[in-house]
Every structure is written in C-alpha cells, then in structure tokens.
Amino acid sequence: MAEPASTPKPTTNDPIAIVCVGMAGSGKTTFMQRINAHLHAQSKPPYVINLDPAVTKVPFQSNIDIRDSVNYQEVMAQYKLGPNGGILTSLNLFATKVDQVVNILEKRTKGKVAPIEHIIVDTPGQIEVFVWSASGDIILGSLASSFRTVIAYIIDTPRSTSTSTFMSNMLYACSILYKTKLPMILVLNKADATDVSFAKEWMTDFEAFQAALREEEEGKGEEGGFATQGSGYMGSLLHSMSLVLDEFYKHLSVVGVSALTGQGVDEFFEAVQEKAVEFEKDYRPELERRKGERDKLKAKIKEKELGKMMADMNVKGGGGRRKKDEAETVSEAEEEDDNSDEDDGSDKDNDMSRRYQQALGEDEMDTSKDMSFVKYLQSSNIG
C-alpha cells in the first residue's frame, strides 16, 4: 500500500536514536546485542553508545563507551559513594561532554561513506538513575534536539504475568513516557519463555484484565494466602489504575520479542519506523515550541538585566536623564535620597551614580565650575 504523501520519510542522513531502558534483569543488554546483530546482518551497522559505567563486559562493540572516559570504581572511591551514587556521578561527568558526543554523531551521519541509519543506546540497569536524573534529561534532550529519538522500554514478560506486577510495569512505563516526552515502544522481552498475548489482551481489553484480577483475588482467598487482609484495597487500586491507563495504552506500540532467539525483531523495527514518523509529526513541533519559549525567556531576562544596568547609569534612550518622579529601581531611589540630603556633609564622590554622571558629562554641578577642555583653551588664550 502506498504511503501517504504527507508522511515524513526517513533518509540515510536522518538516523533514528533508539534508547533502551529497562529494569535490571529484563534482558536489556541481550536485547541490545540482538538488534545490533540484526542491523549488521542487513549491512546497516548502527552507531552504538554504552552509558552503563558499572558493566564489566558487554556482548557488543560500542562506538562510544562511557567507561572510556569515566572510571566508575575511581569515582566511587574518590567521592566515597555507593554503587548507585557512583553510576549517577559518572553519568553527570559524562553529561558535561554530551555536546561533543552529539557533534561526533552529526559528523558521522553526514559522512558520505556508509552513513548510519540507527543510533542505539544502552543505559544502566538502575533505571531511575538515568530516567529521573538531570544528566539523563540532558543526554536525552541533546539526542532529541538533533535526531529522531525513540524510547524502547524493555519488560521482563515472565515476571509480569501477575496483575500487580504487570500494573507496576505499566505505571513505570507511563512515568517514563511523561518524563521524557518521547515516543515509546513497550518491548515484551523473553517471548520464547512466556507467550506475550496475555499482556496485549490486558492492554486492549479492559474486561479481560478485570477478569484476571478477580481470578487472582479468588485464588488468594481459597489458599488463605499472604493478603486476605488488605487484598480488597489492592484490588480496588488495580481496578482504578486500569481505568486510568486505558488512554495511556492507546499511545503505545507493543511488541513481543525474544532477545535470545530473535523472535519479533522485524516487528520491533517496524514499530521504530512508525514512532520515528510520530516523532516528526507530534514530538518535534513540541520540542521546537519549548525551545522557542526558552529562547524568549532568555531574551526577556537579558533585556531586563540590561534595563537594570541602564537605570543604574541614569540613561534613558540616547542618554537623556530620567526625571526624579520616574524612579523605577532601588538604585534610582537611593540616588534621589542622596541628592535630597546634599547638606548632610556626606561624601558624594564615591556614589556609583555620580561617577557614571561624571563619565557621561551629565553632572548637575554648578556651571561656573565646569572647566571642560575647550573652555580651558579659551580662558588661557591658547590656539
């Protein structure tokens, strides 16, 4: 079927950045290896970035590796930090050079020899350290400002078969989506071990999730399990959350993938292309709008600071002096108070405003005492 004419088509010089995030044990690094191998098999090698400073070995070769510039163990020892603090500080140090990374990526994408089409980014397993940190926000913002950027949220499917764990993962995904404000793909990993159809059904059929929730509650009651006390609260919470997330599910692409066997990888890259088009259509205009607002705010602050400086100098427009009844700043008010107390014997030569007036030739001293250079020449009959 022909593609609509209005749909933006990716070019070889317009790569897609795929940022893989996921909890520890979700198979994120193995998934990175799988999509890397898939692109290499298609003779489209990606540009690989590793942002996990604590990993000892990765099963893929990185073009840019945070471990080459930041020593995680040294950071922990030098700053007396724990594992999470060491990862966060390492990311903060790396974020100070993110502009250089983006410059390298831009040069690489503009290269005439084998231009790249995909940038894949591996992140730390401590997901909150990356997603909710200032450094993670800087890195994602820098990528999104130059490339079409998509978030791939990796989920451990076998661990999400219970309604409570599934809902926890969905809430996590929801928070990441609204924090990053970038298109997201839910990757239900380990599809070879557990069929992902149950998760897709729960996301598309509200009644199916409610039925599964009732079954779990009844099962706990029969077995006299851990939560007969308080299970009603949990059921009510999960019921409410499923209603809230119903709209959230409509904006997600869900793909079942096995990083071990390669199942679903083609479907994943189809979803990536769809989200790249969505980025151009919905997210890039929003990013441009936010950037324009920041630029306007900076210009407004700059203009305000300039106005304060001009007010301190008692300069208005082309150099005219403000009237006394137009005092708008603290410095002008203080100057008027000083002028009203000329008989108090205080030293006016140290006043900042008076020195500015003298420098601009606007001092209101007695004209009889004005000995400018020209009058000095005339009075001395020189020349």
What is the identity of the amino acid at 51?
L
Q: Using one digit for the tens of pLDDT, what is the confidence trace for 101-121?
A: 999 998 888 766 667 899 999
How confident is the model at residue 345, as a pLDDT?
A: 47
pLDDT at 182 over 50: yes
Does 10 map to a domain? no
Q: Which two tokens stand for residue 264?
A: 């679903």
Residue 122, in any domain of the structure: yes
Cα(95)–Cα(142) distance, rounded to whole angstroms?
10
* In the predicted structure, residue 210 carries a pLDDT above the cut 50: yes
Residue 7 lies in a domain: no
pLDDT at 314: 61
Q: How many domains does the chain have?
A: 1
Q: Does the residue 311 lie in any domain?
A: no
Beta bridge partners of 48: 120
Mean pLDDT, rounded, for 161-186: 90
- Summarize pLDDT for 323-338 with one digit per residue, the tens: 445 555 555 555 655 5
Which residues lie below 8 Å from residue 366, measured CB to CB, with a gap of 6+?
none
- pLDDT level of residue 306 (50, 70, 90 thresholds): confident
Report pTM.
0.71
By residue range, what is the domain housing residue 279? 16-44+112-216+236-290
Q: What is the mean pLDDT of residues 120-139?
A: 91
> Is there a domain that residue 166 lies in?
yes
CATH code of residue 203: 3.40.50.300
pLDDT bucket at 380, cuts 50 / 70 / 90: low
Say what the pLDDT of residue 155 is. 95
Q: Is residue 75 in a domain?
A: no
220-259 pLDDT, tens per residue? 544 444 443 345 677 777 878 887 787 788 878 999 999 9
Can you tell me the mean pLDDT for 42-67? 92
Is the predicted pLDDT of residue 311 greater than 60, yes or no?
yes
> Percentage of residues in the chain with pLDDT exceeding 70?
74
Residue 72 domain-assigned? Answer: no
Distances in whole angstroms, Cα of residue 316 to Cα of each of 308, 335, 362, 370: 11, 16, 13, 24
Asked if residue 318 belongs to a domain, the reply is no
Q: What pLDDT is attached to residue 181?
A: 87
What's the confidence (pLDDT) of residue 204? 87
CB atoms within 10 A of CB 27: 23
Q: What is the pLDDT of residues 64-105, one digit of tens each?
A: 999 999 999 999 999 999 999 999 999 999 999 999 999 999
Q: What tens digit of pLDDT does each residue of 362-372 get?
A: 444 444 444 45
Which pLDDT does position 1 carry in this prediction? Answer: 41
Q: Is 318 exposed, middle or buried (0-12, 13-18, 19+ CB in 10 A)?
A: exposed
Sheet containing 16-22: order of strands: 64-65, 47-50, 118-122, 16-22, 148-156, 184-189, 253-256
Window from 168-172, 307-311, 331-335 with minimum mean pLDDT:
331-335
Distance CA(278)–CA(280), nearest Å, equals 5
* pLDDT above 60: residue 11: no
Question: Greater confidence, 153 or 383?
Answer: 153
